[in-house]
Structure 1
Amino acid sequence: MIDPLQASSRLAGAGLEAQSARLRVISENIANAQSTGKTAGSDPYARKTITFRSELDRALGASSVQVKEIGVDQAPFQVEYDPGNPAADERGFVKMPNVNMLVEMADMREANRSYEANLQMMKQARSMITSLIDLLRGA
């Protein structure tokens, strides 16, 4: 059986990995928020989404988090009038990515806070292990 300090470190590590993946997806969305198609009338960048799943870690006897899948947002593309754009159709309209910067920034902030919480949990477990070692040395 795994001790509670090791278990908390493993669970925090799983949370760190999940939120790190979420931050990568958000970063890609932000980087491509203005990426139109290459040719006239073609589709632009489609926003990516990430979903998680709870998975039982039998060694810990606790639920952990993992990335289930990275998908594509099915929301419609926005259309802007920009006849000079190489991606403009015959009427001068360009399909723009379905990325909403306010949503991405809110998601990034939430993912960052969750990442920091998991990191703090990892630091606390490490500190408790160090304290335990110091106590054992003194005994």
Structure 2
Amino acid sequence: MKIGGKLPGFDISAQGLSIQRERMNLIAENIAKANTVRDANGQPYQRKILVVKQKQNQFINSIGGYENTIKLKTTNENHISNTTNNQTGNINQENLKIKEVRDKSEGEIVYMPDHPDADENGYVQMSNVNTVTEMVDMIAATRSYEANLTALNSSKQMIKDTLEI
């Protein structure tokens, strides 16, 4: 989700909102399927996790750019000079790798001899979703979403205040 153009605060916050929304969707799916014994392939349901990583070397390659830096004019010889050390890297959606992965850990094995999916000994392998863990992850995702929303509103307020000057 790109909404800011030359306003990186908007882009970063919008990206964070989008990632946390996707994370919440996966958590909701995990909770909904916590008691699902078999998926379409006949296997126990495996918990889904959202993994967000920065693509290799993308940040290093973008560090040399001056796209989002602010140029200041020095009016006094005691001011800090413009050096190449005060560059910023651009972090955007293209530099991130967002991937949905499945938790490969085994689910709990429960004795249910009357269950249609029970093995010859009467045991059923359940999904590996722990509802308590999912609820904790949901709270963390909600707090991250709120933090990104607060940052977006702060950026918006700073721009609004700047226009009033």
Report the TM range for the smaller structure's normalisation.
0.7 to 0.9
1:56-107 per-position Cα deviation (integer Å, ceiling 9, x unaligned): 4765433346452111101112110111211111211111000111211111
In structure 2, what residue type is equivalent to 1:124?
S
Residue 23 of structure 1 corresponds to 24
State how far apart, in whole Å, the 1-side matches of 2:38 and 2:118 are: 9
Residue 63 of structure 1 aligns to a residue in which SS? coil
State how far apart, in whole Å, the 2-side matches of 1:129 and 1:68 are: 30
Residue 85 of structure 2 corresponds to none
Q: Which runs of 4+ in 1 moved over 6 A?
A: none
Q: Confirm or deny that 1:63 pairs with 2:91.
A: yes
1:110-131 per-position Cα deviation (integer Å, ceiling 9, x unaligned): 1111110001100111112222
In structure 2, what residue type is equivalent to 1:118?
N
Deviation at 1:134, TM superposition (A): 2.7
Which stretch of structure 1 is more off in the superposition, 93-102 or 82-91?
82-91
Q: With structure 1 as the length reference, what TM-score do the two structures score?
A: 0.81
Residue 110 of structure 1 corresponds to 140
Unaligned segments of structure 1, at least 5 residues:
none
Higher percent of residues as helix:
1
User: RMSD over aligned Cα, in angstroms?
Assistant: 2.3
Residue 62 of structure 1 aligns to a residue in which SS? coil
Do the aligned partners of 2:37 and 2:45 also contact (CA within 8 Å) in 1? Answer: yes
Q: With structure 2 as the length reference, what TM-score do the two structures score?
A: 0.70
Residue 91 of structure 2 aligns to a residue in which SS? strand
State how far apart, in whole Å, the 2-side matches of 1:38 and 1:83 are: 20
Unaligned segments of structure 2, at least 5 residues:
69-88
Identity of aligned residues (%): 32
In structure 2, what residue type is equivalent to 1:20?
R
State how far apart, in whole Å, the 2-side matches of 1:130 and 1:50 are: 35
State how far apart, in whole Å, the 1-side matches of 2:18 and 2:39 are: 34
Who wins on radius of gyration, i.e. which is larger? 2
In structure 1, what residue type is equivalent to 2:52?
F
